[in-house]
Amino acid sequence: MNAPISTRSALARRSFLGLALGTAATLALAACGSGAPVTAGGAAGGTVKWGWALPTSWDPVFSSAGWDVHDLSLVYAGLTKLDEKGDAVPALATGWTYSPDGTTVTFKLRTGLSFSDGTALDAAAVKKSLDRGRGDAKSLVAPQLVHIKEIAAPDPQTVVLTLTQADYQIPNLLAGKTGMIVSPKAFEEDAAGLASRPVGAGPFTLSSYTQNAKAVLKRNPGYWDASSIKLDNFEIYPLPDASTVVAALQSGQYNVAQIPGSQVAAAKAAGLEVQVIPSLVVAVLDINPTKAPFDNPLVVQALKYAIDREALLKTQQFGFGDVSYQPFPKGYVGYDAGSADLFPHDPAKAKELLAQAGHPDGVELTITTTSAQGLPEQLQAQLKEVGIKTTIEVIPAAQATQIIYIQHSRALFTDQFAGRDSAPQAFQVLFGEQGLMNPGRSTPPELKAAVDLVSRTPLDSPDYPKNLQAATALAVRTMPNTFLYSVPRILARQKTVSAIPPYTVVQRFEGVTAP
């Protein structure tokens, strides 16, 4: 990664993000926003025009991509949030306490909270919102809430979560999409409408939305921390094309944009400010071990040894990031030093494994992707050297969510790790039996036990790092997921926009000013 991580308490609370996919149609939203008065602070004003990505859904319960959390955090708030270091800190709640055995956690809410539709955000509303996330038959966050047995609201300011087992990750877990609080009035009256008309209690409200094109947001004066929001307006655009992003920034189409490593030099030459923000995103290949040829574990191992990750990093990232063999980066509490070079580039070993698998003359497979250029082509060339003959299948980005994340109907897909807000949650997404990035839908019993142990270990316990690293080591040796390299967040901006806070987890914009 591009910056050191300093404290173990911070490391224990890091989360992971992935890439989102766009949607298509045009909708107009009625502007809404009411609630508590704005507290004293700096004057608001200005507009950020962010070239980034539009969400798969504005409903956090059905959002299917980790990257969505950046957009959703603009319109929703949770009981907690993650600070710049990744620590869970108070948000809608002023704090929380655990019972001595870790099976109950109690949150105290701020007073005077409201949703952007004007309805009260009290303990009863929090209970309804979280119960929807864990109870809806199609919920994509339900697997992360399995340790919650019951939610109670004994009074308007108190939310009590009773757990099926000790789980000290709950404040981290609720800081992301899983814990975003949605207006009960909105989902009781028109749940489907939330996909394009979010109703939350975040720093902004969505006023208009053209799917696959643009989202326009307005400052929410009822946000609990409104004094920290200096912008009046916020606009979000789809991920810019690499070949035009610098020109678009110069012209003012965007004033902040995500750029690839290939454009860093051009952006600096154009007089733009460039920030390389450490991110816990990692490029990965999703592999389905129930489909040939990966139903033979030796073929999976051969693939891992056939890949030259150093070459991929240099070409695909222009050197920004690190080679990776595991989901966690160097310096993170879950990083397992014993897996630092687990599958080094070794063509001879890859060929030997293929022969042992019954494929002495090589094997054929399909690489599924949303874009043939770049990584898939480089992988194709590398795999050819060891006798793995590949066909590249390009699927529409708009269909990838259904084909890859829901149906799990492909053998191999080029992906990025859509991580989550606590380490066990990240394990669930990657390796859990219902994990979006576990197309095989199976998990070794010993890995389940290792992840449960991590959840039941307090973050300040000296056993926490040891238990988490042991789970990492077990996962990368028993699961087919093939990690490639880390992907930092590279933002270019016009000089009239103030520096973007370097949040490792969710990109936030507190204190940012713009013309």
Q: Which CATH architecture has domain 280-487?
A: Roll (3.10)
CA torsion, points 9, 11, 14, 17, in degrees to nearest 10? 180
Task: Judge whether 419 and 18 are in contact, CB under 8 Å.
Answer: yes
Name the nearest CA neighbour of 419 among 408, 403, 430. Answer: 430
- The Cα 455–Cα 168 span in angstroms is 6
361 alpha-carbon distance from chain centroid: 40
Residue 60, SS3? coil
Strand pairing report for 25-28 and 204-211 = antiparallel
- The Cα 459–Cα 9 span in angstroms is 7
Q: φ and ψ at 492, to 5 degrees?
A: -105, 145
Q: What is the pTM of this model?
A: 0.80
Q: Where are the alpha helices (DSSP H) in 220-367?
A: 245-251, 264-269, 297-306, 309-316, 347-356
Structure-token match 């040796």, residue found = 477
Bridge partner list, 416: 283
Q: Return the number of other C-beta atoms located less than 10 Å from residue 5's C-beta.
A: 19
Can you give the pLDDT of all 515 residues of the chain as single tens digits?
A: 333 222 222 222 223 333 332 333 333 333 333 333 333 333 458 999 999 999 999 999 999 888 899 999 999 999 999 888 777 899 999 999 999 999 999 999 999 999 999 999 999 999 999 999 999 999 999 988 999 999 999 999 999 999 999 999 999 999 999 999 999 999 999 999 999 999 999 999 999 999 999 999 999 999 999 999 999 999 999 989 999 999 999 999 999 999 999 999 999 999 999 999 988 899 999 999 999 999 999 999 999 999 999 999 999 999 999 999 999 888 778 899 999 999 999 999 999 999 999 999 999 999 999 998 899 999 999 999 999 999 999 999 889 888 998 899 999 999 998 667 788 888 988 999 988 899 999 999 999 999 999 999 998 899 999 999 999 999 999 999 999 999 999 999 999 999 999 988 899 999 999 99
- The Cα 413–Cα 175 span in angstroms is 29
Measured CA distances, 87 to 343, 383, 452 (Å): 32, 40, 21
Write the DSSP symbol of residue 118: S
Query: What is the per-residue burial (b if ≥16 Cβ within 10 Å, else e) of 175-193?
Result: bbbbbbbbbbbbbeeeeeb
- The Cα 234–Cα 255 span in angstroms is 11
- The Cα 78–Cα 145 span in angstroms is 14
- The Cα 183–Cα 205 span in angstroms is 13
pLDDT of residue 44: 58
Structure-token match 């980005």, residue found = 397
- The Cα 73–Cα 84 span in angstroms is 14
Please enumerate in sequence order all residues whose Cβ is within 8 A of that of 247, keeping only pairs 6 or more positions apart, or say none: none
Amino acid at 291: K
